[in-house]
Structure 1
Amino acid sequence: MSDYFPRIADAELADRLRWIGAVLIDGPKGCGKTETASRLAKSVVRLDTDAGARALVGLNPGSLFDQEAPILFDEWQRVPEIWDQVRRHVDDLRQRGLYILTGSATPTDARELHSGAGRIGTLRMRPMSLSESGHSTGEVSLAALMAGEEQRAKRTEVTVPELLERIVIGGWPALLGEDERSARRWLADYLSQIVEVDVPSLGTTRRAPQRLRRALASLGRNVGQPIKLTDLAADIGGEGVRPADETVHAYLDALDRLKLTDDSPSWRPHMRSRTQLREAPTRYFVDPSLGTAALGVGSKDLLADLNAAGFHFEALVVRDLRIYAQPLGGTISTWREVRGRKEVDAIVETPNAWAAFEVKLTGDERVIDDAARRLIDFAAEIDTRRHGTPSALVVVTATGGAGKRADGVHVVPITALGP
């Protein structure tokens, strides 16, 4: 563990263990759940690799709990019965910080499990943000922005081509220090495992690897957009028969259960005008690298198509905003007018504040000026008597320095943003 990179989730897990009996850490395979949990666990039960431990769940489950706490039950979904055993032990012992469960998929029979409310808290983990992987200075704090504080940072040295490489490589701990070529091979194998093994193992769809690959590619092409299910179905069908709506829903459900997608719901605030807003969620993968891997493109391809690159850059920014907002109790939504003429890429809401973010893959002042005007116009439409005034209006860029403009809008490069 000497090469462990500290995670924002470290403090979140420690905090949860102080006030609840057990904590479930869920997230996609390879995002670092086990490593983070192992930092605090005193005992580890690996249910994915230890056949003996799996057998004991049915034969003598009490022996698995006769260890020093906190006990980590890794990949708990392999033996869903452990959930009720953990819940029962928390009830009986009435202590805090007893157990940690990690899982990369919601089990098929999850509906049959008893609720863990009040006994088992949930912590979502994602691949690493730029500040966690060391690619952001973190000089600008999202928490400070949400508190209405002015934030500044020196001009960052990261170039647009380097940022595009970070999109393609992603925030996977296993890829820290790897070059783009190696990362793309790892991600190709990762998606093959998802298509060939993980999705079929959930039992929600019949084995159709080519259709699953087309579904992933369609989500990659439409990242950062509210793609309609009819359009997604047409992409999945290819030149063949379009799949039924139930099949499309099953694919999306499987990807959600594997924690591979991370969509932004539509924000529908009280407004001064009668603007009609979209209700469809905006589609994102849990890490931007999955979108480019599904399309088979690299950083040079993105550099040759900056319009498409802008959407993948937005996915990178939204991933980091989710990670930074989570310790604040924050959520991420998107705001779009029905006809698509007005939109805001991300709305961050915490229990007592909200802020709006526009994302631009540029340092061009004219583009930033236009984005700032759009944010100001958007904020003027919100009924502040019901929602309060925004804590911050922010244009997130790829390059440049960070500061607050004369019109009150913050400009922040993603490589300076942190929790």
Structure 2
Amino acid sequence: MVTDLAIKDYRPRIADGILRKKLASAGAVVIRGPKWCGKTETALQAAKSALMMQDPDEKGNNLLLAEARPSLLLQGEKPRLLDEWQEAPQLWDAVRFAVDRERAKGQYILAGSATPTSKPSHSGTGRFAFMDMLTMSLAESGDSTGQVSMARLFEQGGEGIEAHSDSTIETVAALTCRGGWPAVALDEVSEASLETAYEYLTAIAEEDISRPDNVARNSQYARVIMREYARCTATQTTHATIRKDLKSRGTELSRETVDTYIATLRKLYVVQDLSAWEPSLHARSRITKTPKRHFADPSIAVAALGASPASLLKDMSTFGLLFESLCVRDLRVYAQPLSGEVFHYRDETGLEADAVVVLRDGSYALFEMKMSARLVEEGAQSLKKVADKIDTGVMGAPSFCAVLTPGGYAYRRDDGVYVIPITCLGA
């Protein structure tokens, strides 16, 4: 049953099935993710009643009730959605207590676009399940055919995959700039849809950057830091280097300032770095542990750089990094139903895999992202070298290796490495 607040033309999301499973296993489910990514609409598909904490007509009264009698805000048909619950962190403990008392699964959904600064009295261990949401993947928005299933690749090795995408590099440039924002992801790419990421960036810099802890922050600092972060997309740039680069461009900020702004962007789920994978290797080699820098959606980086589809096509180096970020977002979405996580691998010799999808059972797959058919061979050779370096006696062999491209044909090379257009990939 869907509440009356839910939109009628809702486009199904991969997160829908994940939410149903988590509601069946825990008393409450916490949905986390950047604003505008669709958390509320997804939650409303499963909820039977809802408390909207940011409803201007009720916000004042709701905040007062959260202080005096939070249990009153939990009344309603279950599952009950508490949207933007972090506006009243007391709701966490109220839900935890209610779950203990009611002893039933699937009672509450808590959705929020920021991490509250005040910690609850109890962690909620055993009562809460957690679910992370991103913007729409290309398969969800209909911009990928979804013919090549990640689940099938893991289960069967993808033998004999056959798929084709008509997407061109120009198409992928436009999709990277538009992003996966549900408000525009189902529309044709247009000048209006390309503005959404710019509007998002403005909202973060001028309003949201100060909200998680109610500390006033400088919107210009937020903008220049996000711009510098965007320049580091898909690289292992350190915060110290970011400060140094800011200084070279005329903005000198202290270590504390830069670290605090980035930490706040992380609390808002705007920044979502890719951690390093640390497999067991049969050859001695030090693995670099610095995360790769990514925004929740590649269009945020595009907006921070002041870029457009046309400018990306004139700067293929930058476009290549943003294409990698686009692929990482989609891999994260497609890995979720498999209880998978996405990492990156790089060692001191420079050998790397742009992404590594690791499932809960220990199986894993290696990915490289390449912008043209000419570079596929380079990507495949790199993946084979990484695979050869892994101690398969401990880790097992990779389930598969794949080079992701913008468009064209999906096929299996003679050496076993798959070539898959990101516009053919799906869950």
2:384 counterpart of 1:409? no
Partner AA of 2:377 in structure 1? D
State the secondary structure of the residue aligned to 2:31.
strand
Match of residue 10 from structure 1: 16
Rounded to whole Å, the distance in 1 between the matches of 2:94 and 2:247 is 43
- Are the equivalent residues in 1 in contact too, given 2:278–2:345 (CA < 8 A)? yes
2:158 counterpart of 1:150? yes
Q: Give the ranges of 4+ consecutive aligned residues of structure 1 lying more than 6 Å apart after TM superposition.
A: none
Q: State which of 386, 394, 400 in structure 2 corresponds to 1:378.
A: 386
Match of residue 418 from structure 1: 426
Q: How does 1:5-404 map to 2 (within 5 A)?
A: 5-49=11-55, 50-51=58-59, 52-109=61-118, 111-151=119-159, 152-176=161-185, 177=187, 179-203=189-213, 207-237=217-247, 240=250, 242-338=252-348, 341-352=350-361, 353-364=363-374, 367-404=375-412
Rounded to whole Å, the distance in 1 between the matches of 2:138 and 2:250 is 41
C-alpha displacement of 1:201: 2.0
State the secondary structure of the residue aligned to 2:24.
helix
Partner AA of 1:97 in structure 2? G
State the secondary structure of the residue aligned to 1:147.
helix
Number of aligned residues = 415
Q: What is the percent sequence identity of the aligned residues?
A: 39
Unaligned runs of 5+ in 2: 1-6
Rounded to whole Å, the distance in 1 between the matches of 2:236 and 2:13 is 31
- Are the equivalent residues in 2 in contact too, given 1:205–1:251 (CA < 8 A)? no
State the secondary structure of the residue aligned to 2:122.
coil
State the secondary structure of the residue aligned to 1:326.
helix
- Are the equivalent residues in 2 in contact too, given 1:184–1:293 (CA < 8 A)? no
Rounded to whole Å, the distance in 1 between the matches of 2:401 and 2:84 is 40
Partner AA of 1:333 in structure 2? F
Rounded to whole Å, the distance in 1 between the matches of 2:123 and 2:107 is 17
Rounded to whole Å, the distance in 2 between the matches of 1:325 and 1:179 is 26
- Of residues 99-108 and 210-219 in structure 1, the stretch that sits farther from structure 2 once superposed is 210-219
TM-score by length of 2: 0.94
Rounded to whole Å, the distance in 2 between the matches of 1:61 and 1:205 is 25
TM-score by length of 1: 0.95
C-alpha displacement of 1:2: 2.8
- Are the equivalent residues in 1 in contact too, given 2:93–2:120 (CA < 8 A)? no
Rounded to whole Å, the distance in 2 between the matches of 1:205 and 1:270 is 43
Rounded to whole Å, the distance in 2 between the matches of 1:163 and 1:400 is 12
Classify 1:178/1:413 alpha carbon distance in 2 versus 1 (closer, same or farther; 3 Å): closer
**1:359-411 CA distances to partner (integer Å, 9 max, x unpaired)?**
011123xx212211111111011001110000001111111111211111111
Partner AA of 1:290 in structure 2? I
Partner AA of 1:24 in structure 2? V
Classify 1:113/1:242 alpha carbon distance in 2 versus 1 (closer, same or farther; 3 Å): farther
- Are the equivalent residues in 2 in contact too, given 1:356–1:375 (CA < 8 A)? yes
- Are the equivalent residues in 2 in contact too, given 1:215–1:235 (CA < 8 A)? no
Classify 1:142/1:184 alpha carbon distance in 2 versus 1 (closer, same or farther; 3 Å): same
Unaligned runs of 5+ in 1: none
